[in-house]
Structure 1
């Protein structure tokens, strides 16, 4: 069904670059209304139309709704994925593979153009390529306690000489007995790890709680999860079904010194948004990582704790725009 011309947005619109299965974006659009948002789902690229030239661009969605360079006031880079990113087992024709690669490039650089026009907010695209886990942990030592770690390939352990966990840097699936599996944080004996594989090993922390802190430009929102309910089964709550833990997270009274450290750390990283993960052990906050584009919707799905309202405030096309630093990008 095509949208009548008088229903095509003529004012400010938030462009969200994501996929069709992003529940966080579903929540945003439910609260903001579809007329304030234009959603580009890259996994459905066949259903969109795109024109881009030296003057500007125009995108048309499957309903016939259109936006252009003047319509867009803010851009939120969420979780766009290519077909291979979604599932490497999906078969795609050579022709579709070529089309997808060309569109991926075009949308990536369109995002950069809008970044140069000071319209990109909160999330820096592909920030994990600039500040991966090793950069994060080295910088984090200035602000937080960080577990000792070792990454290696081709050399047998042990390296840490203590209880340890193994982690995946990429969460890339590996072959399993029935289907590909993801290596989440797993307790190990280092001497049992084969040097034929690369391993990221870290000290094991016997924590009582997981603490995650959503940093949203000028505010923080902390939540905690009691580990007693799952620690005998797994060291990593992410390994459990979403429904098993989502309702168990509660607001956490973040220590004031840690809150100040979070602001300093994020300023040094140059990020406006991130979800920082800690372990809480006997009153000590142990830094694990910051996800520059981490999910946040399940933490405040009903808008009870201020996080959802803050995200709506930052993303709404009706509020002032606080663009990301250009990081060397020229003005457009």
Structure 2
């Protein structure tokens, strides 16, 4: 374990993070929780030309963290930085918001801390790339089509039962989840309106694998009707039974996470007679419902990992060959 501050970056409605903050406080850690979307957020940063490190503070009206004392960062769901509320012109305020985003993300991304997860790594882990990387790491992935044309789905499906899934769970209404569901290729319009993802429906129990550093927490999910493809809307009514992770799956997942530089991931699999098929990974996925209903101590693992010193390194920069995608700010 180490001394220093743990910087927690998420919005005020992220109740899963409340569990992590409490666990860190029980370990006598100095925790500073901030939301980058808070209009009251402030930054005083100075680049030390001798060390090449940003020093100074970031905070809101209640708390602040010294940048050079941050040893762990939990990056969950921070809101987008906003322009100052005193700026009344919409265009000027939007410009200020962009300036804040570039500066805040740019300074924070250089902190040589234990990140769960670094935003560059999380942003690079897009769903189309996930499937390619997972297959290269020895994991089984579904046959997948991404297209804007309904006719392409019809030709590809060739009589199979298929499903549609969104690239992001939040839809036009951010309070409404876009769930995966069956699709009728013959009923699709000529133009789909957006690039759409289709896969064959794979039957078998769902597996949720939550990874924290080197630790893996897997559960088999049961209790949902067989016709239900996406169990998330009724997760509070399901059973989550802890199970071991097969050695080949564990090896493939570790290779996958290392390729992206991820410390944490919530991975969804389907268990078939031929093994586990990876559907996707969410680098900032929820885990609280799994812990509550299975008894697995995921929160403790995250708190302990945030307090584990990172390998000696310069401020975080992409390492050649580590990340399969470009380094971008979310």
TM-score, normalised to structure 2, is: 0.79
- 1:176-325 maps to which residues of 2 (within 5 A)? 181-197=176-192, 198-207=195-204, 209-226=205-222, 228-232=223-227, 234-238=228-232, 240-241=233-234, 243-245=236-238, 248-282=239-273, 284-301=275-292, 304-316=295-307, 319-322=308-311
- Map 1:4-153 to 2 at 5 A: 12-33=4-25, 36-43=30-37, 45-55=38-48, 56-63=55-62, 65-82=63-80, 93-94=90-91, 96-114=93-111, 118-142=112-136, 143-153=138-148
* Distance in 1 (alpha carbons) for counterparts of 2:81 and 2:105: 15
Q: Distance in 2 between matches of 1:302 and 1:163?
A: 32
Distance 2:32 2:181 in 1: 40
Question: CA contact under 8 A between 1:166 and 1:200: conserved in structure 2?
Answer: yes
Q: Distance in 2 between matches of 1:126 and 1:231?
A: 38
Rounded Cα–Cα distance in structure 2 between residues aligned with 1:206 and 1:307: 28
In 1, Cα distance between equivalents of 2:198 and 2:103: 38
The question of whether the paired residues in 2 share the 8 Å contact of 1:230 and 1:237 is answered with no
Contact 1:280 1:286 in 2 (8 A): yes
Looking at structure 2, the residues matched to 132 and 112 of structure 1 have their Cα atoms a distance apart, in angstroms, of 19
Q: 1:18 and 1:301, CA in 2 relative to 1: closer, same or farther beyond 3 A?
A: same
> 1:95, CA displacement in angstroms?
5.3
State the match for 1:3 in structure 2: none
Aligned residues: 296
Superposed CA deviations along residues 79-128 of structure 1, whole A, max 9, x for unmatched, are 112289xxxxxxx95555444333222221122221xxx21423120435
Q: Is the 8 A contact 2:6 2:30 kept in 1?
A: yes
Higher strand share: 2
Partners of 1:35 and 1:144 in 2: how far apart? Answer: 37
DSSP-derived class of the 2:47 partner: coil
How many angstroms apart in 2 are the aligned matches of 1:202 and 1:18?
32
Taking structure 1 as the reference length, the TM-score comes to: 0.79
Gap change, CA 1:60 and 1:268, over 3 Å in 2: closer
- The alpha carbon displacement at 1:237 in A equals 1.4
Report the aligned-residue RMSD.
2.9
